[in-house]
Amino acid sequence: MQRKVNQLHALLEDKIKAEQYGESPSELYEPIRYLMSLGGKRLRPILALLSYNLFKEDVESIIDQALAIEVFHNFTLMHDDIMDEAPIRRGQPTVHEKWNTNTAILSGDVMLVKAYDLLLDTPKKKLKHVIQIFNKCAAEVCEGQQFDMLFEAKQTVEEVEYIKMIRLKTAVLLGASLESGALLGDAPERDRLLLREFGVNIGIGFQLKDDLLDVYGDKGTFGKQVGGDIISNKKTFLLINALNKAKGQQKELLSKWLAAEDFDAGEKVAAVTAIYDKLGIKALTEAKINEYFSAGFTALKKVKNSIYEKAQLKKFAEELINRQK
């Protein structure tokens, strides 16, 4: 029986609420409970469960492995927020803002340990392979974050470099989630690799959508600071293409805002967004998002399951295309 996404989400939330990360000192463990309780789409563990459910029905049997993926993801968010000096996560203060940076680092470290602990229940014959997928992905996520930080000091970043960075930082975890779920579900190797390809492509599309929403999202629903990428001069797909397309006065105005050190944040966001509008950057980004989602759906179509069995996974991915937060 195929499980619906809302059923899987409820199953995960129950597991998250029941999970014990540790007790003393409370200052170490409370930030973990706080971050995990902030909700979110639970995208990655749900993908793992949906992938498993293509081949087997007893999704409860891999709930620990699915939670390991979510704990690892939140560990990366906790540390990314420190590096980005982000004030808000999911509409609430980030851990380093609510507590302090040192506590956020330590709590994040414990989360990584906990993620591995949750994988220990994996059947022995699959444990090594699951750990290998997890380790490769974890290293790639760190590579992606390092590239992201290196881009801050680079004068110019090419679109191909940016796509490589978001593939590593964001997309590979979606791919690994789907591949792990399929592996645990005894899927053939061909289907495992196709599901990973599906995940990586929708992961790139997902991050590009995040870039788009940072500029064009609704402040009441986005959950993060709208315009934050513009304020910090973050080299996103939108800015990279704006710099390539801008000419004359537009180029001068965009360069002026990028060089400005003392400015009104709202004024800068409005001015840069207006330049994006004139250059057609929104439509360009939407086209690139659709390109990657289309490639993902092509890979999913090749997985040897019925259209009905893949319907939940396809629908879940389609909702990512249309998301507004």
Mean pLDDT of all residues in 153-159: 92
Q: What is the pLDDT of residues 241-251, one digit of tens each?
A: 999 999 999 99
Topology of 5-321 in CATH?
Answer: Farnesyl Diphosphate Synthase (1.10.600)
pLDDT of residue 219: 66
Percent of the chain whose pLDDT exceeds 70 = 96
3-state secondary structure of 89: strand
Mean pLDDT of all residues in 282-302: 96
Q: What is the pLDDT of residues 81-103, one digit of tens each?
A: 999 888 888 889 999 999 999 99
Q: Which of 9-13, 45-49, 188-192, 223-227 has the lowest mean pLDDT?
A: 223-227
CB atoms within 10 A of CB 98: 15
Tokens 């207006």, located at residue: 274
Residue type at 294? S
pLDDT of residue 1: 58
Q: Identify the residue with better confidence: 115 or 224.
A: 115
> What is the signed CA dihedral for 276, 289, 90, 119, rounded to 10 degrees?
-150
Secondary structure element (H or E) that encloses residue 114, with its range? helix 101-119
Mean pLDDT of all residues in 138-158: 94
Instruction: Report yes or no: 108 and 78 within 8 Å, Cβ to Cβ.
Output: yes
3-state secondary structure of 274: helix
pTM (predicted TM-score):
0.92
| Rounded distance between C-alpha atoms, residue 120 and residue 118, angstroms | 6
Q: What angle do CA 11, 71, 18 make, to 5 degrees?
A: 45
Confidence band of 2 (pLDDT split at 50, 70, 90): low
**Angstrom distances, CA of residue 220 to CA of 94, 226, 238, 309:** 17, 9, 22, 35
Q: Is the pLDDT of residue 303 over 60?
A: yes
Helix 5-18 / helix 307-321 crossing angle, nearest 10 deg: 70
Structure-block tokens of residue 11: 């199953």
Q: What is the pLDDT of residues 234-279, one digit of tens each?
A: 999 999 999 999 999 999 999 999 999 999 999 999 999 999 999 9
Instruction: Report yes or no: 276 and 242 within 8 Å, Cβ to Cβ.
Output: yes
| Residue-range domain boundaries for the chain | 5-321
Q: Which of 9-18, 163-172, 216-225 has the lowest mean pLDDT?
A: 216-225
Which phi and psi angles does 88 have, rounded to 5°?
A: -130, 140
Mean pLDDT of all residues in 5-28: 93
Q: What is the pLDDT of residues 198-226, one digit of tens each?
A: 999 999 999 999 999 999 987 665 555 57
Tokens 């492509």, located at residue: 201
Of the chain, the end-to-end C-alpha distance in Å amounts to: 30
Average pLDDT, the chain: 93
